[in-house]
């Protein structure tokens, strides 16, 4: 997956059995990549003591309030590991 600022992405909707850091309120919703935040160990692996954990790109992804809540004019930017995201056709 090659994501860059402006890429449209969908947060994975699944609810894994293990620890994850995809906030429930963005699951299944479409946002836009704002920037790459570097590469960091995946918390899902660290919480399960998978050694070494996968190290993945983390992206700031901006969601319009109306996409998440059906109303509102603000934006919410959420920081998401690459495997939490699916590329969305534009």
In whole angstroms, how close is the CB of 72 to another protein at the nearest point? Answer: 8
How far apart CA 22 and CA 35 sit, in angstroms, is: 17
Report the SS3 class of residue 69: helix
In whole angstroms, how close is the CB of 66 to another protein at the nearest point? Answer: 12
Q: Are 80 and 73 in contact (CB under 8 A)?
A: no
Q: Which of 10, 29, 31, 58 binds another protein (CB under 8 A)?
A: 58
Q: Which of 3, 30, 60, 86 binds another protein (CB under 8 A)?
A: 60
DSSP 37: E
For the record, the structure tokens of 89 come out as 């056709």
How far apart CA 62 and CA 79 sit, in angstroms, is: 9
Q: Which of 7, 9, 29, 80 binds another protein (CB under 8 A)?
A: 80
Residue 14, interface with another protein (CB under 8 A)? no
Query: Which residues lie near another protein (CB under 8 A)?
Result: 21-23, 25, 37-38, 40, 58, 60, 68-69, 72-81
């Amino acid at each position: 997956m090659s994501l860059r600022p402006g890429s449209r992405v969908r947060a994975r909707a699944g609810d894994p059995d293990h620890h994850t850091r995809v906030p429930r309120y963005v699951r299944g919703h479409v946002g836009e990549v704002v920037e790459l935040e570097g590469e960091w160990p995946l918390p899902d692996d660290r919480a399960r003591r998978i050694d070494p954990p996968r190290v993945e790109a983390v992206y700031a992804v901006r969601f319009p309030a109306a996409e998440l809540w059906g109303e509102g004019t603000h934006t919410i930017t959420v920081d998401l590991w690459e495997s939490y995201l699916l590329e969305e056709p534009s």
